[in-house]
Amino acid sequence: MAGGSLGNLVTFCVFSVLGLLLARRFPLPVKNATWVALAVAMVAGSFVGVGTALLSVFGFTILLNWAIVSCFFGILGGLMDRTRRREK
């Protein structure tokens, strides 16, 4: 696996878990406007800081745009899970 791919995978995993933890702070039920804002932020985040390294050690790089997208992905996933569990 190339260094860039490994960095992206680790970034996605770490920041998705961070997003899952942040999702606990949102009150339920989540308004539709919140869902839309989070989805738009996730898409827009992929265009922010492209190529900007948050951390770069020995060829292993954590990129800003991947971190933003992964965090919002984790938040959305966490909110979906909590909403689904609440409805049961």
pLDDT digits (tens, 9 = 90+) for 6-34: 888 989 999 999 999 999 999 999 999 99
- Structure-token pair, residue 38: 């989070």
Is pLDDT above 70 for 3? no
- Residues 61, 4 contacting (CB under 8 angstroms): yes
pLDDT tens across 36-88, in order?
Answer: 999 999 999 999 989 899 988 887 889 999 999 999 999 999 999 999 999 88
**Predicted pLDDT of residue 59:** 77
Which residues constitute the domain of residue 31?
A: 3-87
Tell me how many domains the chain contains: 1
Greatest Cα pair distance, the chain, in angstroms, is: 47
